[in-house]
Amino acid sequence: MKVKNNSTKIEMILVIGVMLILFSTITYAATSIELTTGNFINVFGNLNLSGNNLINAGNVSIRGNLSVDGNLSVDGTTFFVDATSNNVGIGTTNPNAGTITASPVLRIEGSNPVITFNNTGASRLAHIRLGANGVLQFIEDVSNEQRMVINLSSGNVGIGTTGPLSKLSIGGAGTASADLYIANSNIATIYLDGTTNPSGSQIILQGRDATVRTTTLSQDSSGLFTINNSGTAGTEFSITTGGNVGIGTTSPTSLNTAGAHDTFQISGDVAGNSAELVLKAGSAFAQRNWSIVITNPVSVDTQFEIRLNRTAYQTIDKSGNVGIGTTSPLSELHIESSEPEIILHNTLSGTNVKRARLYSDVAGTFVIDAPNDAYSAINAVIMVANLSNGNVGIGTCKRWCLWWNNFSSR
């Protein structure tokens, strides 16, 4: 059939349009469909296309289903479907997954590509945007505020900050030396809710030298807080709901700021290991570590000792006897050394008359004298006693001024 004039052409187009509208399903096999600007196809049924199809310009309105056997490309890179990989691209005709193996893939390309979510019920928009600086941003629409960011280069995550320096930074940038950083203008809080679990809540800290070391901080259903170490049997530290603190026990007596019987309890174990409080100097003074020890915790002969680097310097036994330089005091005050000495210092006395000294020297002589304030000279020798023969001297010399033999008078 030959078309004689333009009006006939227009009539033919109208007829074809009517036929397209009447058909419920149209099947078209071609390498492409191309529409020039201003033209359109209306399909009220289904449109099945085979081969690779390109909608280059014009409009297509489909009220049924669209079935495409090959690739589908809309306006070049605006929208692309790869029929082989089942991947979808927006802004690209190469919708691959990069270095990872995955299929199907939705790939969006652009200078600042964004995915927008719209909850029509809540009238709320939210966006996920990949910024030019390689930071994945989760944005709230009303304030345009970045609620959370992920730095794809470092892997750091920020909540309430756009420049996280820690692995997880909350409320502030943090520091590269920390894995978790939390900042708050009021009180920074970590809340663990174990109310639905009868075992309570736990924080587990793990490190290693030659062996993996695990420390567990936990709170059970009764509210008892404990610290346990994998290398130690039993609980190392505990706090009850009443505020009592225990080391080596889960049933401490008390440690309170008020009350008639405040105590800090450190318990030895049933194996006889001593209860000990160590006051440790810095690494530069490793030989100056003091400790307070209760020895023989399972024996009636338990005693209290003050030690320096494990050597006892002062002892109080079960009878209340005090030993200095001995762990076996024989009297209320027992001093042992090569030259044991006691100094009495009266701060209210005058110059060079404040001190009196009692000592026993290596020769077996007991002396009472009066040193000067600088402890550089002896002002007077008050009494000298020879412990081997019992002779006693009273005067200004150490031994031979005035002798009394066995305390006999003249």
Do residue 325 and residue 384 come from a single domain?
A: no
Q: Tokens 């209320």 belong to which residue?
A: 332
- 148 vs 51, 115, 177, 206, 234, CA distance in Å? 44, 15, 21, 28, 42
Q: Report whether 316 contacts 326 (CB < 8 A).
A: no
End-of-domain residue from the set 317, 336, 355: 336
* Same structural domain, 353 and 389: yes
For residue 67, being part of any structural domain is answered with no
Tell me if 65 is assigned to some domain.
no
Residues 279/308, Cβ–Cβ less than 8 Å: no
Number of structural domains (the chain) is: 4
Residues of the chain with pLDDT under 70: 1-64, 198, 231-234, 254-265, 269-272, 282-287, 297-298, 300, 396-410
Residue 116, pLDDT score: 92
Q: What's the rounded Cα separation, in Å, for the pair 159 and 116?
A: 20
Helix (H) or strand (E) holding 238: strand 237-239
Q: What is the pLDDT of residue 113?
A: 92
Residue after which a domain boundary falls, among 144, 168, 190: 190
Predicted confidence at residue 2, as pLDDT, reads: 47
Can you give the pLDDT at residue 10?
A: 55
pTM over 0.85: no
Q: How far apart are the two ends of the chain, measured CA to CA in Å?
A: 168
Q: Which of 107, 101, 161, 164 lies closest to 130, judged by CA? A: 107
Q: Do 323 and 363 share a domain, yes or no?
A: no
Residue 285 has, within 13 A of its CA and on its CB side, a CA count of 8
DSSP letter string, 5-18: SHHHHHHHHHHHHH
pLDDT tens-digit profile of 331-348?
999 999 988 999 998 888
Half-sphere exposure of 299 (CA within 13 A, CB side): 14
What pLDDT, on a 0 to 100 scale, did the predictor assign at position 165? Answer: 94
Q: Is residue 257 part of a domain?
A: yes
DSSP string, 248-293: S-SS-----SSSSS---EE---TT-PPEEEEEPPPGGGTT--EEEE
Q: What is the pLDDT of residue 17?
A: 54
Within a domain: residue 24?
no
Range of the domain at 298: 268-336
* Same domain as 161, residue 142: yes
